[in-house]
Structure 1
Amino acid sequence: MAVDLSFLLILTGLTGIHSITIVRKVSVKSGDSISIPCLYGSQYRNNMKYLCKGYYINSCSYAARTNKQSSGRFSISDDKNQRIFTVTINDVTDVDTDYYWCAVEINGGADVGEYFHLSVTTGTPRLYVDHQEITGFNGEKITINCYHRNPGKLRWCGLDGSCVRSSGSINGTRVTIDARAPNVFIVTMSGLRTESSGWYACIKGDFQMPVHLTVTEKLTTGTTRGSTRHEKTLRPHAESDEEGM
């Protein structure tokens, strides 16, 4: 039986289908940084996107926008090919705890957007990962530790709406989840492909933590016959359960 994707998005903590799809609730430790991906419809590819702070979209204050160079702790970037704009808040503090909107400016009409709530803690966040940006290699596997101190069901989801609870696949990549250890579930993605690249999210209860995966070829270099072959690894700069997200 077909299931409405917008209903599935609500079940998994992601929201938005007709305008923008984002995570809904994020916890981060004071002093850290957080990046939030905002997936938008193709009809908004050339519109100005922005992040604003406040409970209501029609009265929120701009934090960053794509038609103005970013400054301060807030930044925004727009990948028009993937139809995702990413907002980043650096060096978060208690005053950053609030509602925010990922929004698109509509000329001659009401802007469209979806909100998320950012909770800044002085101690351990409700849900977090070692790194939001990770790199894997074609044909290999990668593991992600999703640490939590939050009750509720766990999931590993793609921003497009596909999810796994224990084992399954997302974008043709095998996914297994090991939740035997306390306060952490370990996600393993096997048989990585270039198409596996993109945004995912650890989800536990009503909190989500976005993770961006980049899959590349492992570079190998060889010399002439009889000499030693060296391998060089590229590094970055710096329920089966399966259901829709």
Structure 2
Amino acid sequence: MALCLRIIYIITGLTGVHSITTVSKVSVKTGKSISIPCLYESKYRNHVKYLCEGAKWRSCNDVVKTNTADPSGKYSISDDKNQFFFTVTINNLTNENTDYWCVVEINNGLDYGEHFQLSVTSGTPSLYVDHQMITGYIGESTTIRCHHSNSGEMKWCRLGRNCVTGSSGSIDGTTVTTYMSEPNVFTVTMSGLQSEDSGWYWCAKGDIQIPVYLTVTEKPITTTAHTFTGDRTITTFKNGQQRASFDLKILIIPLSVLIFIVIVVLFIWLILRNKQRKADSSATAMAGVEVAYAEVRPKKKHLGKVDQEVIYTNVGNIRRKSPEGEGKGTEVTYSTLATLH
């Protein structure tokens, strides 16, 4: 039945090119894997999608469907119903894996398919990127390096959207700059990323393309945990990465000197503080005593022929504060008895 529908498809001249969008030709290395995006119209969100292998539409073979997994593991398929694209991945590529079709199954009608070609080589691909899946953070920039050895116009495009062909431009409001960072390397920088920038893009040089998927998320808050192992410590980040460890023995001498200095300073401070307290206590005690001084001077008094010695005294009061409280005191009177000779 599927074959009959495809024959009708060819006879009527309907190829579905306006219903599915994908890359046209990709250069890949033997034994590696490649992921190919297939963009479809939103009205096909709940339809079955599949990958068909073969150069001819009427004779291609279904190799994997969204509702049927490939038992061999060579092919896989996933459907993003929010962004309206499905992704097919082909593993362990060989020279025989060259022609495929992205297909949307139409219930009681003709399926829509779009062809793409793989150029499988045992050497270096004519166009490739460092990573096909990359991550960027909201508000920041991300850079993609497209390595090429073929000739032709260089451009950076979003699947199903516009392209940037010059040194600068924009895609969906995001600034894009391009330049040749080194021979045979075309560098693309996207600045001021937003979550809406997540999706499939492709780098092109001449008639060869390489798809790249960009995921834009919030930048995670990095927390660290220190693990001590003997003389060394390892810092582990929240995302599981580890930073180079260092030797704790390096810190022993300076830490010891610092601790000794702190102890000496603290000891001197305590001594000075104790002396100051004693001085303050003595001053307080002296301030609470009222002292009256008496002057005693001996004088001789002449009474006729007999000299008499008279001692005169002054009587003073000494007021002493009571230890039970301030403002209260006891008055003591001192007197001296003098003898006349």
Secondary structure in 1 matching 2:59: coil
User: Is the Cα contact below 8 Å between 1:38 and 1:84 reproduced in 2?
Assistant: yes
* 2:196 pairs with 1:192: no
- Measured on the aligned residues, the alpha-carbon RMSD in Å equals 2.0
Instruction: Mark the runs of 5 or more structure 2 residues left unpaired by the alignment.
Output: 1-15, 225-234, 241-341
Residue 70 (structure 2) pairs with residue 67 (structure 1) = no
Quote the Cα distance in structure 1 between the aligned partners of 2:121 and 2:207.
16
1:16-55 deviation line (CA, Å, top 9, x unaligned): 7621000000010111110000000112111111101111
Deviations 1:186-208 (A, max 9, x none): 00111111111110000110010
How far apart, CA to CA, are the structure 2 residues paired with 1:53 and 1:17? 17
Match runs of 1:13-32 below 5 Å: 18-32=18-32
Q: By percentage of residues, which structure has more helix?
A: 2
Q: Deviations over 1:106-138 (max 9, x none)?
A: 122221110000111000101100110000111
Identical counterparts, % of pairs: 61
- Return the offset for 1:234: 5.5
Describe the SS at the equivalent of 2:58: coil
Match of 1:202 in 2: 203
Distance 1:101 1:135 in 2: 28
1:232–1:217 CA distance, 2 compared to 1 (3 A): farther
Which residue does the alignment assign to 2:318?
none
Aligned 8 A contact 1:218 1:234 in 2: no
Q: Shift of residue 70 of structure 1?
A: 3.1
Residues 151-201 of structure 1 deviation map (CA, whole Å, 9 limit, x = unaligned): 110000001221112211112211100125221100011111111111000
Q: Does 1:122 align with 2:122?
A: yes
CA distance in 2, matches of 1:233, 1:218: 12
Distance 1:234 1:49 in 2: 35
Distance 1:56 1:222, change over 3 A: closer
Question: Secondary structure in 1 aligned to 2:57?
Answer: coil
Report the CA distance shift for 1:32/1:221 in structure 2 as closer, same or farther (over 3 A): closer
**CA distance in 1: counterparts of 2:107 and 2:60, whole angstroms:** 18
Show structure 1 runs of 5+ residues with no match: 1-15, 224-229, 236-245
- The code of the aligned residue for 1:40 comes to Y
Which residue in 2 is equivalent to 1:12? Answer: none
Give the alignment's TM-score, normalised by structure 2. 0.59
Matched residue of 1:95: which SS?
coil
Q: Structure 2 matches for 1:10-89, cutoff 5 A?
A: 18-71=18-71, 72-89=73-90
Larger of the two Rg values belongs to structure: 2
Partner secondary structure for residue 67 of structure 1: coil
Q: Is the 8 A contact 1:50 1:76 kept in 2?
A: yes
State the aligned residue count: 213
Secondary structure, counterpart of 2:196 in structure 1: helix
Question: In the TM superposition, what are the counterparts of 1:56-205 in structure 2 within 5 Å?
Answer: 56-71=56-71, 72-96=73-97, 98-165=98-165, 166-179=167-180, 181-205=182-206
Q: Which has the higher contact order (CA 8 A, sep 6+)?
A: 1
The question of whether the paired residues in 1 share the 8 Å contact of 2:127 and 2:209 is answered with yes
TM-score normalised by the chain length of structure 1: 0.82
